[in-house]
Amino acid sequence: MLALLWNVLSFVVALGILVTVHEFGHFWVARKNGVLVKRFSIGFGKALFSWRDRQGTEFVVAAIPLGGYVRMLDERIDPVLPQFRDLAFNHKSVWQRMAIIAAGPGANFIFAILLLWLMYLVGVPEVKPVFSGAQPASIAAAAGVRENEQLKAINGRTVRDIRSANLLLVEQLGRPQITLTVQDRDSLAERQRVLDTRDWQFNPDQQSVFSSLGLQLLGPKATTTLAQITPGSAAEAAGLQVGDTLLTINSQPVTEWQQIEQWIRNHPEQPLQLEISRDGQTLQLVATPALTTGADGFSQGMLGIVPQITPWPDDLIYTQRYGVFAAIGEGFAQTWQLTRLSFAMVGKLLTGDVSVKHLSGPISIAQGAGSTASMGLIAFLSFMALISVNLAVINLLPLPILDGGHLMYLVVELIRGKPVSERAQEIGFRFGALVLLMLMGIALLNDISRL
């Protein structure tokens, strides 16, 4: 319950900030272009509290914190006295109206740059992408990826850390091949590994982009020593304790956690003879994994044990920190990468390279907000920057109900020399609303299926 409340609170805070930034972009540029803004609302529904400034704008914080809006004086909506027509949105030039509409997404891009600037000013913990090898019979194995090779570039784009490598790899979805530039950490020799990705299958709900390619990263490793026993589990019933080290299962030596996992998964409700080391003594125990159903719908065993994890190797971790001006440049670069990736994902959804099953809705966003907020300020700022860019990109899509649709109509007006008819706009708005509701419904169903 506390986790749910934390996720909801983090989501409301993040969404409230991002919507305020977006609407402030519209508001500020509208004011600069002489448009009277009647209302600036954060949230929908009943006003919790409100106030007016000297120019007559009503600022409102409403009860439902799931969006916001700026209402401008507009003859198409409100009756306007002749002396106030110059203050109406629809009486401004096409370029002025385009600037006002584009200012919302533009504010989100600028906000993402500022968030990333602050992150890199404080310092961002990063991890070098070094391979510990390739999974057998995988795309990476066929390309010859080896242990102790550090990833330096993906299709010619420089890679410095696991986070940026992850984003670049996702961006390559749908391409027939990916060229990795790697450097041997011992000899410092650089070489290229060409991944044949024609049959690449990636499910972000079940695996990382690295593991989907068979790329194994050097990092913390699960050991055969137990760190946690689930209360009431089959492991507790068998007498296993925290600190026990598993030596053999059914007389077969186990030296890696993956071997233990495989034994447990493949033997539901079947007794396993365990040889363990405890406080310098060797003991024999019998454990029977419980029967459970995995995410793939197949039955598998569950014992209720969690392994100890080794720490990150010291030579892989570093802090990426910049001065005031250099951090601005890095903020621009990272925002551009996120923007490019966001537009690329929209394109891949249209071409079918990415399934709509991977769309995320408010539940996933709330979970992401909560988890990153729990991880600390840097993680939460990074999450906010990502969502801010996504909000900007989504609003720029040419759906009539979004900012991008309004811009599309204004471009047509600029070309034709007269506005698009109200009838055509109305039909477009209905179509845009239908598409948007359909996508939101799919995203929400995806969220529910992941619970």
Compute the mean pLDDT over every residue in the chain, rounded to the nearest whole number.
Answer: 87
The mean pLDDT value for 380-389 works out to: 90
Angle at the Cα of 154 from the Cα atoms of 150 and 158, rounded to 5 degrees: 75
Tell me the per-residue pLDDT of 140-184, one tens digit each, with 9 for 90 and over: 999 999 999 999 999 999 999 998 898 899 889 889 999 999 999
Q: Are 29 and 100 in contact (CB under 8 A)?
A: yes
How many CA atoms lie within 13 Å of 30's alpha carbon, on the beta-carbon side?
Answer: 26
Amino acid at 353: D
Indicate if the pLDDT at residue 384 is higher than 70.
Answer: yes
- Residue 215, domain member (yes or no): yes
For the chain, how many structural domains are there in total? 3
pLDDT in tens, 60-86: 998 888 788 999 999 888 888 888 889
Task: Give the pLDDT confidence score for residue 84 in this predicted structure.
Answer: 85
Q: With left for phi above 0 and alpha for psi between -120 and 50, is residue 284 left, alpha or beta?
A: beta
Residue 207 confidence class, pLDDT cut points 50, 70, 90: confident
3-state DSSP helix/strand/coil % of the chain, to nearest 5? 45, 25, 30
Does 451 lie in the same domain as 375?
yes
451 and 339 within one domain: yes
Q: What percent of the chain has pLDDT over 70?
A: 91
pLDDT band, residue 219 (cuts 50/70/90): confident
* Pair 117, 134 in one domain: no
Sign of the alpha-carbon torsion through 370, 371, 377, 380:
negative
| pLDDT in the model for residue 432 | 80
Rounded to 5 degrees, φ, ψ at 159 are: -120, 130
Catalytic-residue membership of 75: no
Cβ neighbours for 228, distance < 8 A, ≥ 6 positions apart: 242, 305, 306
**9 domain residue, yes or no:** no
| Residue 409 resides in a domain | yes
The residue from 284, 310, 336 where one domain ends is 310
Q: Residue 258: inside a domain, yes or no?
A: yes
Instruction: Determine the 3-state secondary structure of 68 from DSSP.
Output: strand
Q: Which residue has the higher pLDDT, 447 or 102?
A: 102
- 74 vs 356: which has the higher pLDDT: 74
Q: What is the mean pLDDT of residues 242-269?
A: 92
Are residues 165 and 246 located together in one domain of the fold? no
CB within 8 A of 330, min separation 6: which ones? 116, 117, 120, 322
Rounded-to-integer distance, Cα 251 and Cα 245, Å: 15
- The reply to whether 400 and 415 lie within a common domain is yes
Say yes or no: 253 and 360 in one domain: no
Query: Could you report the per-residue pLDDT of 285-295, keeping only the tens digit for each?
Result: 999 999 887 65
The verdict on residue 362 lying in a domain is yes
Q: Which of 269, 300, 320 is the last residue of a domain?
A: 320
Instruction: Specify the pTM.
Output: 0.81
299 shares a domain with 341: no
Q: Which domain holds residue 216?
A: 124-220+313-320
Q: How many CB atoms lie within 10 A of CB 439?
A: 16
Residue 307 tokens read as 């392994």
The pLDDT assigned to 33 comes to: 95
Dihedral sign of CA atoms 8, 11, 16, 17 in order: positive
pLDDT over threshold 80, residue 442: no
- Per-residue confidence (pLDDT) for residue 116, from 0 to 100: 94
Confidence of residue 264 (pLDDT cuts 50, 70, 90): very high
Q: Give the model's confidence band at 44: pLDDT under 50 very low, under 70 low, under 90 confident, else very high.
A: confident
**pLDDT one-digit tens code per residue, 81-117:** 888 889 999 889 999 999 999 999 999 999 999 999 9
CA distance linking residue 389 with residue 155, whole number of Å: 24
User: Does residue 2 register a pLDDT over 90?
Assistant: no
Report pLDDT for 3.
67
Kind and range of the H or E element at 302? strand 299-302
Q: Are residues 135 and 213 in the same domain?
A: yes
Whether residue 210 has pLDDT greater than 70: yes
413 in the same domain as 302: no
For the stretch 270-285, pLDDT in tens is 999 999 999 989 999 9
Q: What percentage of the chain reaches a pLDDT higher than 90? A: 51
Residue that terminates a domain, selected from 250, 277, 310? 310
62, HSE (Cβ side, Cα atoms, 13 Å): 18
Question: Cα-atom radius of gyration of the chain, to the nearest Å?
Answer: 27
User: Tokens 């939460």 identify what position?
Assistant: 380
Residues 352, 279, single domain; the answer is no
Helices 2-32 and 362-375 meet at what angle, rounded to 10?
A: 100
Residues 335 and 417 in one domain: yes
3-state secondary structure at position 228: strand
pLDDT in tens, 287-337: 999 988 765 567 788 999 999 998 888 889 999 999 999 999 999 999 999
Structural domain includes residue 38: no
| 150 domain-assigned | yes
pLDDT greater than 70 at residue 374: no
The residues pairing with 226 across neighbouring beta strands, listed in sequence order, are: 307
pLDDT tens digit string along 415-430?
Answer: 988 888 888 888 888 8
Task: Spell 81-116 as b/e; 16+ CB within 10 A means b.
Answer: eeeeeebbbebbeeebbbbbbbbbbbbbbbbbbbbb
Asked if the structure places residue 85 within a domain, the reply is no
Alpha helix (H) ranges present in 376-421? 377-395, 403-416
Check which CATH number belongs to the domain holding 189 and give it: 2.30.42.10
Asked if pLDDT for residue 54 goes beyond 80, the answer is: yes
pLDDT of residue 346: 82
What is the DSSP secondary structure assignment for residue 421, as one 8-state letter? Answer: P
The pLDDT of residue 448 is above 80: no
Whether 108 and 129 map to the same domain: the answer is no
